[in-house]
Amino acid sequence: MNDSPGWATPGSSPSDGDRQGNPADRPASDGGAHQPARPTGDPKWSAEQPPPGQWSSPGATPPADTPRPPAQPATGWGQQPGGQYSYPGGPGQWGHQPPAAKPGIIPLRPLGLGEILDGSVATMRTHWRSVVPITLVVATVIQVISVLVQKFMLNDLPLGSTEDMTAEEAIDSLGSTLAVSVVNQVIQVLGTIVVTAMLTMIFSRAILGQHSSVSTAWREARPQLLRLIGLTLLLALGIVLLGAVLVLPGALAGNMGLVVVGFVAWVPLIIWLGIKFSLASPALMLEKSTVIKAFARSSKLVRGAWWRIFGITVLTALIAFMVAFMIVAPFQMIGIFAFGGGLDSLEDGSAQTAWGPLIFSGIGLIIAQTIIMPIQSGVTVLLYVDQRIRREGLDLELARAAGIENYGTTGG
């Protein structure tokens, strides 16, 4: 039995019962098969929807009277329902893959690495009037707060190397530095959540070739925002508790060997859980689901593709790091050498609290985050869509939502 949700209309907020469908409301001819969600309320969605009983999700048994698409030729590449392709008919027979429909930023078929990255960049380039204001405003707020926190929380700390400090001063310095790091991280996470929620809605429309304004993206993302915060906090809490279970016993016993073993076991588990639940955010936003169901959906979609998603995620992170470094480093150098006292400020630690280095570093981070956040969010959304195309034939529902008639029912 296939329990995959359909492609919910961006902005709709169906209840769980509406999303899954009421068996009593289904026609008798569907045999209980799941019906895809039919987008309503938006004139841009296709008005030509299939009649009840003529579409079942991949994996469900179609009714006897369901019309079947004509068979593909034995030679060449032929597209089958669900985004699958038949291989050439025999040895030495070369065919070609027919171009898939591309109503928006991606073709409606399983995606390659290049198409996922290109789709993220294409959305930022094509829909920059919506994307850039969101990321620019959030990045600016994050960095302004971060600069103020770093300036005033570290301003009273003694300068100089740790060798010149007393034990009490060293502890105070370490505590203040950790506090600043925690505050900055919390601000960063909250800002990222807001950006992720809004950009997910923009990407969901960009896939269909539709534009979305900033106000529309906020209106569509807002109902799920608290759930997205809860999802992020629950995942972070799980990681912390896992670390406590693995590392804390050795620390309490004073056994550094156990601490090292626990830490070595903790890091791979963090990575594994991070990839396993990496698609929970788009599942939560686009399927209008609960936090627990979003975790379950991500686990199901990632199953069997963990290494592929891990590789794409790591590559995206490396690209983001290199872009950020190339942008931020020059601003930091300008701030330190032109306004912060040069190398001496790095030695005595005054560069951490001087206005010049802080402001120029913040400007560089604002520019970097404005570019990086859409790419990272886009890759996550497109990985989610790609996995659903591969496993659930989502390309058919996307094609109908984009107004492409008879998609997947003809050989051309």
DSSP 211-226: ---HHHHHHHHHHHHH
Q: Residue 246 pLDDT > 50, yes or no?
A: yes
β strands within 53-137, DSSP E: 78-80, 84-86
Nearest-CA neighbor of 107 among 134, 123, 133, 83? 83
The count of other CB atoms within 10 Å of the CB of residue 141 is 15
Please give the pLDDT value at position 156. Answer: 60
pLDDT digits (tens, 9 = 90+) for 174-222: 777 787 788 888 899 999 999 999 999 999 999 999 999 999 999 999 9
Residue 213 identity: S
Contact 320, 374 (CB under 8 A): no
Q: Is 53 left (phi over 0), alpha (psi -120 to 50) or beta?
A: left
Which residues 6+ apart lie within 8 Å of 162 measured at CB? 170, 173
pLDDT digits (tens, 9 = 90+) for 35-68: 444 444 443 433 443 443 333 333 344 444 444 4
Q: What percent of the chain has pLDDT over 70?
A: 67
Nearest-CA neighbor of 286 among 354, 363, 377, 356? 377
The rounded distance, in Å, linking the Cα atoms of 410 and 406 is 7
The rounded distance, in Å, linking the Cα atoms of 233 and 239 is 10
pTM: 0.74
Nearest-CA neighbor of 230 among 291, 171, 178? 291
Nearest-CA neighbor of 189 among 136, 146, 240? 146
Query: Per the structure block, which two tokens stand in for 143?
Result: 């960095």
pLDDT digits (tens, 9 = 90+) for 326-379: 999 999 888 888 876 667 666 666 667 778 888 999 999 999 999 999 999 999
